[in-house]
């Protein structure tokens, strides 16, 4: 055959010859044998991986027939050539085509596993599969050379520069392939980092950022020479970026570097409870430019990384998770203060959610206008999750005990004195 399985008059005549019919029969027979062999392998050999390694089992299931068919067809073509003395180019071509299909399945399997959690990649994966099939068919039928020759003769003019359509398509393809490889490698490394139990959250974030920067730089370094761009020309571009950072992008650069600093010194970590602008919340994410704090009302607050370096932030869980609950209890001036303090201590001892190994603080704090303020500080067993529960239980019990012991809880009073002569 003239060129692979390109359909032309010579190839069709050869297919209709006795040698061609023998090759077609050999291909059909090999296909039937491959079907039975693949079914046997699926039931006996591959089944043991179904529970031990389901991903590997899924991969074998998607490529096993193409692999068995290609190997069988190559062996059959070699045997046919040894017996008949004629080469089975059609059989070898179909075997290579089957290996191409297997390669497409492997690529799509890798993409689907890598981007399994990103639903938007489902459609992209289907487009990639269609594009790979088109490329395989064009290569198998030698249409790629025909298309390349025709598109190379079509030029687009940009001023004094002429660029062929084929060159633009090829360069665009290289860019897309480079981006796809970078995304694939980045997702694999990110998955490994996220599942590494020996690494803390901050170190995972830091490694993930460094990995992304390195992958992008390496991808650009590999891609630019392929596109015919001289790397030395980037020195001027780098100088322009430096000037831009010095003027308009200094805030972005500051936040970017601050993100690395807070990840290294661990002043703020994912899961820390912080107070900023009188708002309390938990850090849920630290990105390149900002951190996300989720407040207790469910709202998410975006905090630039620079603020964690330049401003004072209250981190309630920086080195330990013991956070006290503090409030005031007012009693009347006619109340027995010792009885009130002892009653509060009894209430603290009766609540199981309060730590008893750390002594509570109960003392007179203020002599108010309407009553005497008693300061109360206790330590919840789980301060991150039970602070409001402890406050609620303790307030209810104090009110009930004060009522039982006739301890007055005052309310604001205002004495009005009327002066002057009586109205007549």
Q: How far lies 44's CA from each of 40, 60, 67, 262, in Å?
A: 6, 13, 17, 54
Is 80 exceeded by the pLDDT of residue 143?
no
Model pLDDT, residue 5? 47
Confidence of residue 375 (pLDDT cuts 50, 70, 90): very high
Percent of the chain residues past pLDDT 70, beyond the cut: 78
> Which tens digit of pLDDT belongs to each residue from 223-235?
777 666 665 655 6
Give the mean pLDDT of 400-423.
76
Q: Give the C-alpha separation, 314 to 244, whole Å.
A: 34
Highest mean pLDDT among 185-189, 318-322, 368-372: 368-372
Percent of the chain residues past pLDDT 90, beyond the cut: 4
Q: How far lies 248's CA from each of 241, 244, 251, 252, in Å?
A: 10, 6, 8, 9
Burial state string for 189-198 with b = 16 or more CB within 10 A and e = fewer than 16: bbeebeeeee
> Which tens digit of pLDDT belongs to each residue from 284-303?
888 778 888 888 778 888 88
Confidence of residue 64 (pLDDT cuts 50, 70, 90): confident
Q: Give the C-alpha separation, 409 to 344, whole Å.
A: 13
Is 80 exceeded by the pLDDT of residue 222?
no
Q: Give the C-alpha separation, 47 to 210, whole Å.
A: 40
Q: Give the C-alpha separation, 232 to 241, whole Å.
A: 15
> Quick check: pTM over 0.85?
no
Q: Encoding tokens for residue 158? A: 């940009």
More confident residue, 365 or 115: 365
> Which tens digit of pLDDT belongs to each residue from 196-205?
776 666 677 7
- The CA radius of gyration of the chain, in Å to the nearest whole number, is 38
Q: Give the C-alpha separation, 40 to 64, whole Å.
A: 11
Confidence of residue 253 (pLDDT cuts 50, 70, 90): confident
Own/partner long-range contacts of 395-401 (Cβ < 8 Å, ≥24 apart): 395/327, 397/347, 397/350, 397/351, 398/329, 398/343, 398/344, 398/347, 401/343, 401/346, 401/347
In terms of C-beta density within 10 A (0-12 exposed, 13-18 middle, 19 or more buried), how is residue 371 classed? buried
Confirm if 135 and 144 have CB atoms less than 8 A apart. yes
Residue identified by tokens 């980092």 is 193
Model pLDDT, residue 189? 79
Residue 38 CB partners (closer than 8 Å, separation 6+):
64, 65, 68, 69
Model pLDDT, residue 74? 85
3-state secondary structure 307-336: HHHHCCCEECCCCCCCCCEEEEEEECCCCC
Confidence of residue 396 (pLDDT cuts 50, 70, 90): very high
Confirm if 199 and 187 have CB atoms less than 8 A apart. no
Is 60 exceeded by the pLDDT of residue 208?
yes
Confirm if 330 and 372 have CB atoms less than 8 A apart. yes
Q: HSE of 20 in the Cβ direction (CA atoms, 13 Å)?
A: 10
- Which three-class secondary structure state does DSSP give residue 269? coil
Model pLDDT, residue 228? 66
Is 50 exceeded by the pLDDT of residue 179?
yes
**What distance separates the 2 farthest-apart alpha carbons in the chain?**
141
Is 60 exceeded by the pLDDT of residue 352?
yes
Beta strands in 335-395 (DSSP E): 361-367, 372-378
Return the minimum-mean-pLDDT range out of 69-73, 178-182, 343-347, 389-393.
Answer: 178-182
Average pLDDT, the chain: 77
């Amino acid at each position: 055959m003239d060129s692979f399985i390109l359909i032309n008059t010579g190839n069709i005549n050869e297919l209709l010859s006795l040698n061609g019919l023998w090759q077609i029969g050999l291909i059909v027979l090999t296909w039937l044998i491959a079907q039975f062999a693949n079914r046997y392998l699926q039931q006996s050999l591959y089944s043991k991986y179904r529970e031990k390694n389901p991903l590997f089992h899924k991969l074998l299931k998607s490529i096993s027939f193409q692999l068995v068919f290609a190997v069988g067809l190559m062996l059959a073509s070699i045997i046919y050539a040894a017996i008949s003395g004629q080469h089975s180019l059609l059989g070898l071509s179909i075997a290579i085509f089957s290996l191409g299909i297997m390669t497409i399945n492997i690529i799509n399997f890798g993409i689907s596993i890598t981007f399994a959690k990103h639903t938007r990649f489902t459609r992209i994966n289907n487009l990639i599969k269609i594009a790979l099939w088109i490329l395989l068919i064009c290569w198998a039928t030698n249409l790629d050379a025909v298309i390349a020759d025709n598109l190379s003769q079509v030029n687009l003019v940009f001023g004094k520069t002429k660029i062929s359509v084929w060159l633009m398509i090829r360069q665009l393809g290289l860019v897309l392939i480079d981006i796809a490889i970078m995304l694939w490698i980045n997702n694999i490394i990110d998955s490994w980092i996220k599942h590494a139990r020996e690494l803390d959250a901050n170190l995972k974030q830091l490694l993930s950022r460094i990995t992304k920067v390195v992958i992008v730089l390496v991808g650009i370094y590999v891609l630019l020479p392929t596109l015919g761009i001289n790397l030395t020309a980037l020195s001027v571009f780098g100088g322009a970026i430096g000037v831009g950072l010095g003027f308009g992008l200094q805030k972005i650069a500051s936040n970017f570097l601050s993100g690395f600093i807070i990840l290294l010194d661990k002043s703020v970590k994912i899961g820390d409870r912080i107070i900023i602008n009188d708002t309390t919340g938990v850090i849920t994410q630290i990105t390149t430019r900002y951190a996300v704090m989720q407040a207790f009302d469910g709202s998410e607050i975006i905090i630039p990384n620079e603020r964690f370096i330049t401003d004072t932030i209250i981190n309630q869980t920086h080195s330990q998770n013991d956070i006290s609950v503090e409030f005031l209890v007012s009693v009347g001036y006619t109340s027995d203060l010792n009885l009130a303090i002892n009653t509060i201590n009894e209430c603290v001892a009766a609540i199981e959610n309060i730590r008893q190994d750390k002594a509570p603080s109960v003392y007179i704090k203020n002599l108010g206008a309407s009553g005497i303020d008693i300061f109360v500080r206790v330590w919840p067993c789980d301060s991150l999750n039970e602070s409001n529960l402890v406050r609620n239980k303790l307030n209810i019990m104090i009110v009930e005990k004060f009522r039982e012991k006739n301890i007055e809880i005052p309310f604001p009073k205002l004495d009005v004195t009327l002066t002057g002569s009586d109205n007549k």
